[in-house]
A and B are shown apart, each in its own frame.
Chain A
Amino acid sequence: AQSVSQHNHHVILSEAASLELGCNYSYGGTVNLFWYVQYPGQHLQLLLKYFSEDPLVKGIKGFEAEFIKSKFSFNLRKPSVQWSDTAEYFCAVSPTGGGNKLTFGTGTQLKVEL
């Protein structure tokens, strides 16, 4: 069975600071990887996804993530955060092949201060 670890549970940054949120997964086969975001009072939204293409994935709102297979990692990055990026961020993994469940990490609560 697959699992996901998000090591940073709470992160506080000032506006314009750079962001990197860690995500490591455990699974013996090939995977699809995702980052979802949940803004306050809103539902989960897809931020970006990796489907066995370019390991550097660009998402919405200036976010990107890099899949490093040798490290089983899929860290989320943004060069300059904004106050509106305050949200909870979830990393998720799913075995390739379609129709499979997503396994989520416990989430990282990001607070961006003005």
Chain B
Amino acid sequence: GAGVSQTPSNKVTEKGKYVELRCDPISGHTALYWYRQSLGQGPEFLIYFQGTGAADDSGLPNDRFFAVRPEGSVSTLKIQRTERGDSAVYLCASSPEPSRNEQFFGPGTRLTVL
């Protein structure tokens, strides 16, 4: 079946601009996660949704970062006033059963802030 999809695959923007990154989870998966991976590092947790609500947003680095999942399926990660330090690969994952916590990852969006 179809896996997690993310769009765009690459995004280049200028410092100070606003960006939106989209994640389409595996159909039927109730849990959705966003991570950020910088060069040479493992993925770092940003936010977790169970259904429509953000169950854990403790990983969001500051208030420039925001994510929504209005219908409990597709999610959008929004970054305001982008900074060069925001450059990274943004990964989305979904899970069929949060209690088992097995997460399936998408290909990521590579964000470059010039």
Instruction: Identify the A interface with B (CB < 8 A).
Output: 4, 32, 34, 36, 42-46, 49, 51, 90, 92, 94, 97-107
> A102 contacts which of B41, B50, B100, B103 (Cβ < 8 Å)?
B103
Contact with A along B38-58 (1 / 0, CB 8 A): 001111110010100001101
A-B contacts, 29 of them at CB < 8 A, read A4-B42, A34-B102, A36-B105, A42-B107, A43-B105, A43-B106, A44-B91, A46-B102, A46-B104, A49-B102, A51-B100, A90-B43, A94-B101, A98-B98, A98-B99, A98-B101, A99-B55, A99-B101, A100-B48, A100-B56, A101-B56, A102-B33, A102-B101, A102-B103, A103-B45, A104-B42, A104-B43, A105-B42, A107-B42
Residues in A whose Cβ lies below 8 Å from that of B102: 34, 46, 49
Instruction: Identify the B interface with A (CB < 8 A).
Output: 31, 33, 35, 40-45, 48, 50, 55-56, 58-59, 91, 97-108
Residues in A whose Cβ lies below 8 Å from that of B108: 43
Tell me how far the C-beta of A111 lies from the nearest C-beta in chain B, rounded to whole angstroms. 16
Q: A99-B50, A99-B55, A101-B33 are in contact. Are A32 and B101 (CB under 8 A)?
A: yes
| A49 to B101 CA separation, bound complex (whole angstroms) | 10
> A99 contacts which of B35, B42, B43, B99 (Cβ < 8 Å)?
B99
Residues in B whose Cβ lies below 8 Å from that of A94: 101
